[in-house]
Amino acid sequence: MRIKRIKKLSCFIFLVFIIVVLIKMYGCETWSLTLREERKLRVFENMVFRRIFGPRWDEVTGEWRRLHNEELNDLYCSPNIVRLLKSRRMRWVGHVARMGEERGVYRDLVGKPKGKRPVGRPRHRWVDNIRTDLQEVGCGYVDWIGLAQDRDIWRTLVSAVMNIRVP
């Protein structure tokens, strides 16, 4: 009985991952996320997992209670949505950095826009996200376009971004 429930639950988690998370993450490679938006994604993911795993019976108080974030992380041991997003973004930027200089996507990546900037604080750019992802891994101020030319090194960086611990 318990094994069937575990199999059903793991199948259900897999379906939720495919249906909800992948649809939610469509095009995430090009998102320019702020910390507030990353937090909203983590809240969304925890909300989905709380719905899947349901409440727990607390032996001490004798009441049902919601699962804490740490308990959710223990139950669902796959990488969270923010780490998945960062690894996809890093994988895609490596692909674009290896493109030729004549390609439009590469020119958009390394080019500078013409015209005047708006007044105020500069907006958070996509390249800034790449730099912060690399800083978290320990390759902060390295020429990442040159680093992406070597696929093996770049794959290790992408897997390192996937395995970092996001608070």
Any domain includes 61 = no
Domain contains 11: yes
Instruction: Catalogue the long-range contacts made by 45-54 (C-beta closer than 8 Å, 24 or more residues apart).
Output: 45/21, 45/80, 45/81, 46/72, 48/16, 48/20, 48/21, 49/75, 49/76, 52/9, 52/12, 52/13, 52/16
Q: Which two tokens stand for residue 138?
A: 């320990």
Identity of residue 146: G
For the chain, where are the alpha helices, taking DSSP H only? 2-16, 22-24, 35-53, 69-75, 81-97, 104-110, 126-137, 144-147, 151-163
Question: Does residue 159 belong to any structural domain of this protein?
Answer: yes
Residue 55 lies in a domain: no
Query: Is position 96 within any domain?
Result: yes
Examine residue 103 and state whether it is found in any structural domain, yes or no. Answer: yes
**Does the model's pTM come out above 0.85?**
no
Indicate whether 74 belongs to any domain.
Answer: no
Per the structure, the count of domains in the chain is 1
For the chain, list residues with pLDDT below 50: 1, 167
pLDDT value of residue 39 = 92
What pLDDT does residue 1 have?
A: 45
Per the structure, the complete domain to which residue 131 belongs is given by: 2-33+79-112+125-163
Q: Is 4 helix (H, G, I), strand (E, B) or coil?
A: helix
What is the structure's pLDDT at 107?
80
In a domain, 91, yes or no: yes
Q: Is 113 within 8 Å of 17 (Cβ atoms)? A: no
- Measured from the Cβ of residue 44, the count of other Cβ atoms closer than 10 Å reads 14
Single-letter residue type at 124 = H
Position 6 scores a pLDDT of 57
